[in-house]
Amino acid sequence: MATKSIRRVTACVVALALPLAAQAYPGNAASKEASTAAAHAGMAMGAADLKMAHAHLQHVVNCLVGPSGDGYDAQAENPCKGMGQGAIADAKSDAARQSRLQEAAMEARKGVKAATVDEAHASAQKVMSSLQAVQGPAT
C-alpha cells in the first residue's frame, strides 16, 4: 500500500514538473510534445486502474506519433493537439532524439495493450525513462 502511494506521489510530482521543463524551450514543438507525453506517462504510472493507465498511455502515443503516426487513436484525447505534428515527426532534425522518441512510442503502444495495471505501470516507467533522456531542444 505504501509503495503504491509513493508511486502515485512521485508520478504526480513528475507530471507537474515536466511541462515546466518544456517551457524553457518555447519554440521547440518536439520538446513540448515530449514533455506533455512524459506528463501523461507519469499519470499512467500513478493510475489506480488499468483503464486509466491505458488512457494516459494512449495520450502518450498520440503526442509522440501525431495524427498521421502509427498507433494514433483519434477517439482518444490528443493533449498535444496544436503543438506540432507529433514529437517524432517534429524531431526529424535530430536522429538520436527521434530514435528515443520512437522507443518511447513503441513502449507506450505496448502499455496500451497491457493486461494488468502492473504491466501498464512498468511500461509507463520505461516510457518516462526514455522521454527524460530526450528533454531539451532539438538541434
Over residues 49-69, the pLDDT tens digits come to: 999 999 999 999 999 999 999
Give the total number of structural domains in the chain.
1
In-domain check, residue 15? yes
105 lies in some domain: yes
pLDDT of residue 133: 84
Query: Is 43 part of any domain?
Result: yes
**pLDDT tens figures, 107-118:** 999 999 999 999
Q: Is residue 104 part of a domain?
A: yes
The secondary structure of residue 55, as a DSSP letter, is: H
In this structure, is residue 139 part of a structural domain? no
Domain assignment present for residue 137? The answer is: no
Alpha helices in the chain, H assignment, sequence order: 2-22, 29-45, 50-65, 87-90, 95-112, 117-132
Ordered per-residue pLDDT tens for the chain, 139 residues: 555 655 555 555 554 444 444 443 444 899 999 999 999 999 999 999 999 999 999 999 999 999 999 999 999 999 999 999 999 999 999 999 999 999 999 999 999 999 999 999 999 999 999 999 887 554 4
84, part of any domain? yes
Q: The domain containing residue 100 runs over which residues?
A: 2-132
Residue 134's contacts (CB-CB under 8 Å, 6 or more residues apart) are 34, 91, 97, 100, 101, 104
